[in-house]
Structure 1
Amino acid sequence: MTLHRAARTTVMVVAMAVLVLGAVYSLLPSATPAPSAAPSPDGAEITTVSEAVGLQEPTGQERTVSPIGSGAECSAAAPCSAASGLLQADPGDVVTLAAGSYPELTIEATATAASQEDPVIVRPAAGQTVDVAGLQVKAPGVRIEGLRVTDTLYVHPTATGATLRDLHVDGAGVFLRANGSRLLDSVIENGSSIDGVQIKDGSDILVQGNTIRSFDQLGGPLHADCIQLFDARDVVIRQNTIHDCDNASFIFSGGRGQGIDNVLIESNFVMGCRVQSEACRYGTAIDLRLEIARNVTVRNNTFATGSVRIGAIPGLVNDRNYFGFLSACDTPMTNSIVGTWNLGLCAAPDALGRDGNRQGVPAFVDQPTVDLHVPETQRPTTSVTPVPVTYPAGLGTALDFDGQPFSASTVGADEPGTAPATGQPSPIAPPPASPDTPSDTPLLPPTDAPSTDAPSTDAPSTDAPSTDAPSTDAPLTIEVDAETRPRTDTVVLTATIGGGTATAVTFSVPGASYRISSPGATLDGGRTWTLEVNTRRIPDGSYPVLAEAAPAVGEPVRSTPTLVSVGG
């Protein structure tokens, strides 16, 4: 039993429920353990992205610029313009931007061509805030740090070895076109009719440690993805938090037909639309179906919500992922956990129950805020009995979202119980608008049509509420029961409120939520709430359920996840 605290009133939520989503499958035994991969080329003790990619401090001169700078001295006492400071910079130098707002900055060239190993660094003065109305990077070997960018950031093909680090790109996207580009430790958010990160034409590209979120299509006809790839090769995308993009979190597109080759997607926290609205309508988690893409490895990711569309492309390795919702029943995968799938197409995905795959739902720390870590006490919810899988040569050993080694049985992006992330939290999404549900409503997952090339519309409903209630001095006690009515295929869900009354109660399961908001319909004015659920089409199994009570005053109070059995 877990104690929580409620605002101003003690609320006891008794949740009795059943989930709707596929059967529970037994773990397959493995005759031999999974083979060990070669040591990670980045090292096994990495704790920061900067260590992982070998960022070094500058060794040259400092040149200070300002929005109103002039002349050629470029000192703190007499700053020059940004263009002048950059044209004087040699490899190892720092171009320091004084506080203020700058117009669009185009970095055409430096005094001597720099490289990723010996860059020209562009960053704000210590402790200062710098806003730039867009960046065009054309010179090679430039490292840009610590800026807030409010319009498009474009890395041109000539800007080989460009590094973007600790940026806040707000209201626009990042376009990576140069070989050796790196996007690290940044927040890219709030764009409209534009991609968060678009990777095209380049090779040897790294996108690591970023938060990429909240891109809509309200501002024009172009669909908005968190990350879109086409005509690119040798790309690594790892340890990012990605969510709330109107069309897709990841999409592999055709481009000019040059193909996508040798891509690694690992240890990312991914969600679709936390709340479906005009700003986020589809929210596909990943769309990887075009055979123009090849040699793609998708491993140890947590795709908590949003449709997963992965086809049998050449050279695919799809291993050790958690998929909240599979859109296609023939998804090729190994050693993975599936929460739900498209029951309109099949009773169960082809690979479920074999090749190390099973059904289940992990217990995340706080899914609504995209904290998809898993507590040590919940390790069994992200464990499988693995079968051997062969990875591409030289791929190295995966590290989790926080840079920790994985155990042999862990699925998803987090090794349970290890250090929490220190990146950018995602604000809690508002609760979904759920209509009142009749008491005999069958509880079923989405039944979508077969996949097409159109944007996905079949993502399951938004997430279950957080398992943590607001903190006050009143404890929240949670007990669970389930009443099955014989010969009727019905289970009754009941929420009992103690210490006060509620104005509404929501029963939530992965893939659906049901809100009752008529206190007058209860027998005791808002203390006991019931909902009848038809289980006729629900496979036997044990499923987690949440309940949320809305008091007349104060914040909603939430139950902990509870496993309830159907059948058997």
Structure 2
Amino acid sequence: MLSDTAVAAPPPTGPGRRRRRWMAAAAVIAALLVAGGIVLAVRDVAPTSVNPPDFIAGPDPSTSSTSATRAPTASASGTASATAPATPSASASVAPGDALYVAPGNRQGSCREDDPCTVGRAFADLRDHPDSASGILLTAGDYGVLEIAASSVTEDGRVLIGVADGADVSIDRLNVLSPNTTWTGITVTGVLYLRPSAVGTILDGVTVEQGGLFVRSGDTVVRNSVFRDGSSLDGIQIGNGASGVRIENNVIRDYNQQGDTQYHSDCIQVFDASDVTIVGNRIANCSNAGIILSHGSGKGIDGLVIESNWVQGCVVRGDACRGGSALDIRESSAVGMVVRNNTVLNGSVRIGTQPDAVFDRNIIDYLSSCDSAMTNTIVQRWNPGLCSQPDALGSNGNRMGEVPVADAVAGDLTPTDPASVLISPVGGEPAAAGIDGSPLPADVAGASAG
């Protein structure tokens, strides 16, 4: 028998350095009539800034190196004044005519628009009769902490979940254990957690505010979504065995270091993961790093591709963003890594010494080391106190140069002078497409030809 039960969610458990600061909440238990294993936890069970159980804070690199590009001053509140790019649009949607409609709480309706049912009832109906509806639409209300159990969808099925037209839907946290779910148009204010059993999850046109996404699942796609305004946690964290993950065409920005925990804030952190692709994203203003690779439990990072992204460090330096790295890929356990056609500004780039790594056709604002290996790359600045010129400049297609962009503060890194991104390439192939989806010529560095 499948049940929907409203209970207080248990606090995260597990190893590591995490704080256990949980609010007392009364457990509310109500037996319901349908089958499904969906758990709806009551609102305000725990602070939304608390990190999930197996959160791993990566290394906190020195922030002494700074970009020579002068960043604008922080606002009086200490928050970034940069304007975020436009929200990407989702490519998936639920057809309202034959959808199942759900509402928070213990409603025993028939899943029609004028008589919504519980989340568990809708999942059970689609699990048992997969062709009976186009998907599930959430009607207005406060869903609190929503957990989708592993038994909710069959291995060969798929359920599309969206928001009813015009509905004001509130989700404090979303914890997905079920495989093969597609989420579109939802907003989560807090943590969105994809557990290892949530294989085949697709997040398309999702917004996560004041929290982050933690990916532990395989064959997962995150696209056309926005992650913003978190404190002392990552925008997207991929680790603990996650495999086959694609992060595409998202905005990840404005994660500060002002939360209750001591965890550092990265836009994207990767550890203990394989076959991860990060492509076509707009990343900015995360206090510790734009993209960082971490050691985790030492299982390594295998087959990471970082292509055609706009990556910025702290565009606005202040209490909200203290000046970390824009890109830190020094983790020695990374094998088979390709970093190609990215534009990386407003922060230092830290390149490792992995022997099989490809670092090709990138634009770098500030290079932190003089012996970094690279090809066909444009470097704007480095620390002249370490060397008169980085070893790689002047060979293998690398050169020094300035690349003016449209509006770094607003996150628009389109080059205003197309000639400034041209290179004389020596070997290698460009990324298949730039950040706008158009083909990239072989003689262009960075994520856009202008």
Superposition map of 1:353-502 within 5 A: 353-375=394-416, 378-389=417-428, 397-416=431-450
Does the CA contact (< 8 Å) of 1:87 and 1:110 recur in 2?
Answer: no
Q: Secondary structure at the match of 2:373?
A: coil
Compute the displacement of 1:199 (Å): 0.3
Does 1:315 find its partner at 2:356? yes
Which of 252, 259, 266 is matched with 1:212 structurally? 252
The offset of 1:193, in angstroms, is 1.0
Letter in 2 for 1:352: L
2 CA distance for matches of 1:175 and 1:111? 20
Q: Helix, strand or coil for the counterpart of 1:181?
A: strand
Deviation at 1:169, TM superposition (A): 0.3
Query: Judging changes above 3 Å, is the alpha-carbon distance between structure 1 residues 309 and 185 closer, same or farther for their aligned structure 2 residues?
Result: same
Taking the aligned partners of 1:333 and 1:368, their CA distance within structure 2 comes to 27
Q: Which runs of 5+ in 2 are unaligned?
A: 1-66, 70-87
Output the CA distance in 2 between the equivalents of 1:129 and 1:70.
18
> C-alpha displacement at 1:335, in angstroms?
0.5
How far does residue 290 in structure 1 lie from its aligned partner after superposition?
Answer: 2.0
Q: Residue 405 of structure 1 contacts residue 415 of structure 1 at CA under 8 Å; is this kept in 2? A: no
CA 49–124 in structure 1, closer or farther in 2 if over 3 Å, else same = closer
State the AA in 1 paired with 2:434: D
CA contact (8 A) 1:114 1:120 kept: no
Letter in 1 for 2:104: P
Match of residue 286 from structure 1: 327
For 1:257 and 1:111, the matched residues in 2 are separated by 33
Q: Is the 8 A contact 1:144 1:163 kept in 2?
A: yes
- 1:244-291, Cα deviation, whole Å (9 max, x unpaired): 111001111111111001011001011110121121112301111121
Alignment of 1:89 onto 2:130: no
Which of the numbers 232, 237, 249 marks the counterpart of 2:290? 249
1:383-405 deviations in Å (ceiling 9; x for gaps)? 0110012x6xxxx9520001000
Aligned to 2:172: 133
Please tell me whether the aligned partners of residues 233 and 262 of structure 1 are also in contact (alpha carbons under 8 angstroms): yes
Inter-CA distance 288–406: structure 2 relative to 1 (3 Å threshold): same
Aligned twin of 2:312: 271
* Larger-Rg structure: 1
Secondary structure (helix, strand or coil) at the match of 1:207 reads strand
Aligned with 1:398: secondary structure?
coil
Residue 199 of structure 1 aligns with an amino acid whose one-letter code is: I
Instruction: Give me the whole-angstrom Cα distance separating, in 2, the residues matched to 1:348 and 1:245.
Output: 29
User: How does 1:220-239 map onto structure 2 within 5 Å?
Assistant: 220-239=261-280
SS of the equivalent of 2:291 reads strand
> Which residue of the partner structure matches residue 258 of structure 1?
299
Partners of 1:386 and 1:408 within 8 A in 2: yes
Which whole-Å CA distance do the structure 2 matches of 1:137 and 1:108 have between them? 7
Matches within 5 A, 1:465-544: none
Q: 1:87 to 1:142 in 2, by over 3 A?
A: same
Query: TM-score scaled by structure 1?
Result: 0.61
**2:190 — aligned with what?**
151
Matches within 5 A, 1:23-34: none
Aligned partners of 2:245, 2:292: CA distance in 1, in Å? Answer: 16
Identity of aligned residues (%): 39
Matched, 1:121 2:155: no
| CA distance 1:275–1:132, shift in 2 (3 Å) | same
Contact kept? 1:268, 1:401, Cα under 8 Å: yes
Deviation at 1:135, TM superposition (A): 0.2
Q: Which has the higher contact order (CA 8 A, sep 6+)?
A: 1
Secondary structure class of the residue paired with 1:89 = helix
Partners of 1:129 and 1:402 lie apart in 2 by 31
On the 8 A contact 2:309/2:447 being kept in 1, the answer is yes
2:31 match: none
1:94 positional shift: 0.6
1:202 aligns with 2:252: no
SS in 2 for 1:84: helix
Offset of residue 374 of structure 1:
2.0
Letter aligned with residue 79 of structure 1: P
SS at match of 2:124: helix
Asked whether the 8 Å contact 1:88–1:111 carries over to 2, the reply is no
In the aligned structure 1, how far is the partner of 2:237 from the partner of 2:337?
A: 17
Contact 1:238 1:266 in 2 (8 A): yes
Change (3 A) 1:185 1:21: closer
Matched, 1:103 2:144: yes
Q: Distance in 1 between matches of 2:329 and 2:126?
A: 42
Unmatched segments (≥5 aa) in structure 1: 1-19, 23-47, 417-568
Q: Which amino acid aligns with 2:125?
A: Q
Instruction: Output the amino acid matched with 2:449.
Output: E
In the superposition, the TM-score normalised over structure 2's length comes to 0.76
Which residue pairs with 1:342 in the alignment?
383
- Whichever residue aligns with residue 119 of structure 1, its letter is R
